[in-house]
Amino acid sequence: MKFIRILFLAGFINVFAQTNVDNQLAVYNFPKIKSSITMPVTIPLSEISNMINSSVKELIYQDDSYTDNNNDQFKVKVWKTRPIRLVGGTSQNLLIEVPLKIWAEKGIGTLGVYTYQNTTFETVMYFNTSLSFKNNWTIMTSTQPNGFKWVTKPVLDYGKVQIPITSLVEKSLKEQQEKFCKTIDQQMSTQLNFQQYAVLAWNVFSQPFNISEEYNTWLKVTPISVNITPLKFYGNQIDTNIGIDIYSETYTGSKPEASQPVKSAANFNFIPVLSDKFSLQTTANVPFTEATNIARKMFLDKEYDVRGSKVKITDIKVYGAENRVMIEAATEGYVKGIVFISGIPVYDDVKKKIVLSDTKFNLRTSNILQKTATLLFKGKIVKMIEEEYGIPTQELELTSRKSIEEAFNKEYYKGLKMNGRVFNLKPTSILMNPSGITAVIDTNASLKLMINGI
């Protein structure tokens, strides 16, 4: 049953997108984000059938004594003719079908003188197994006999005398069927104990992994709890949904410490419906060189009317100063000097841009007389910066969405395929770092792990 071994290996999946810049992101304390991953799990009944068939030998039962069972003068051998077949019931149960070939030999006589005759015939033995998944990661079964179906009835042919021995055979088989029920339950109890795999997967989850070597960024996923929906039985499979509640944390700089390993997996919870909301944060960096290029395309060599005269921007650059974005513009004409406009970067959801708020204006000029004439120019350029200047984030958002969805729709392990979709993504916090502006992007998505062909 390999499917359970990779139950939580989703912890190795890269779910963060980064935009290339030339320098490293400054250290930022990302918050813990509570998320959920859902995993639709399909258990093919063929897997359980293979397990049972491997544990049940071809020769199921053998009675080699004529004198046991009150000197019944009866021998019998029972073989499995075909693989044991399992079918899903409607009440969390499995119907088990065991096709059998039976050889029987019966002695007829008295006073110690017997004539023996043997015959071979076939029947099908049925069982009903109730199955329940305990929250300590074990599966418990309770198997009960469910009767026989004769393919050919057992008859001893002595020529003129034909003796049906159905009752003798059924008596022996019913006794053996009771023992076989215990064998099925013991095998399933041993094979379907997933505690060790849950411990392994839980501890794998606790190891931080690098999601961006360029920015030395780490993702740490901490499992909180596991929720499982009730098992659903179908004709050829058992379905359930496993939900993993986690905290995801992002770190920059040094690798964070791993969580303490566990020696036993905590019990899971049964719930009727699972949440499929997966939340994460990613970052997109805009270097000041790019911010400068945007400003030059918008304002370089642009002229403004001030009291009937012209003011022209001859050079412009963007950089950071004291957690503010600084726009430095050289002007000539009616106002000649260096204009400094600074602001706090914020995200404008309507414009889909990073814009400046709380703007401040300063003019450095050698002409003292011009200082009294710059109020109109100040109003014009500040308004222009606030209304026109902005760093578009649509491309960043599309790039992040594409990267995340590419990571969410891959087969990372044979038989384990992720399926995910981003349905809401937007920048929230805007941070300053020495080389540029960092947009922290909140993302809501659905993430499922599909198990097939395990």
Strand partners, 218: 210, 251
Tokens of 79: 């073989």
Calpha distance 15→443 (Å, rounded): 10
pLDDT for the residue numbered 127: 92
pLDDT band (50, 70, 90) for residue 144: very high
| Distance (Å, whole) CA 126 – CA 377 | 93
The fraction of the chain above a pLDDT of 90, given in percent, is 9
More confident residue, 351 or 48: 351
The long-range contacts involving 287-290, CB below 8 angstroms and separated by at least 24 positions, are: 287/21, 287/22, 287/23, 287/435, 287/436, 288/318, 288/319, 288/320, 288/435, 288/436, 288/437, 289/22, 289/436, 290/391, 290/436
pTM assigned to the model? 0.57
Per-residue confidence (pLDDT) for residue 52, from 0 to 100: 75
Per residue in 338-370, pLDDT (tens digit) is 889 999 999 998 888 999 999 998 888 766 556
The predicted model gives 170-184 an average pLDDT of 79
Mean pLDDT of 399-421: 71
In terms of pLDDT, which residue wins out, 96 or 160?
A: 96
For residues 143-147, average pLDDT: 91
**In what side-by-side order are the strands of the sheet with 337-348?**
303-306, 309-321, 324-333, 337-348, 353-364, 391-392
Look up tokens 């030999």; give the residue.
105
**Per-residue pLDDT, 263:** 81
pLDDT band at 261 (very low <50, low <70, confident <90, very high): confident
C-alpha span between 332 and 313 (Å, rounded): 7
- Please count the other Cβ atoms lying within 10 Å of the Cβ belonging to residue 351: 13
Q: What is the mean pLDDT of residues 101-111?
A: 80
| pLDDT score of 167 | 79
Most trustworthy range by pLDDT among 59-68, 185-194, 422-431: 422-431
pLDDT on residue 16:
29
| Residue boundaries of the structural domains of the chain | 45-191, 288-386
In total, the chain counts a number of residues equal to 454
- Lowest-confidence segment of 9-23, 53-67, 157-171, 253-267 by average pLDDT: 9-23
Section 143-160 average pLDDT: 83
- Judged by average pLDDT, the poorest of 2-6, 117-121, 186-190, 405-409 is 2-6
pLDDT of residue 82 exceeding 80: yes
pLDDT value for 6: 33
CB 113 within 8 Å of CB 105 = no
> Taking residues 16-22, what's their average pLDDT?
34
Is the pLDDT score of 207 beyond 90? no
pLDDT of residue 8: 29
Question: What is the pLDDT confidence band of residue 383, given thresholds at 50, 70 and 90?
Answer: confident
Residue 324, pLDDT above cutoff 90: yes
pLDDT at 22 over 60: no
Q: Is the pLDDT of residue 140 over 90?
A: no
Average pLDDT over residues 317-334: 90
Amino acid at 241: N
Which pLDDT score, from 0 to 100, does residue 126 have?
A: 92
When pLDDT is cut at 50, 70 and 90, the band that residue 451 belongs to is: low
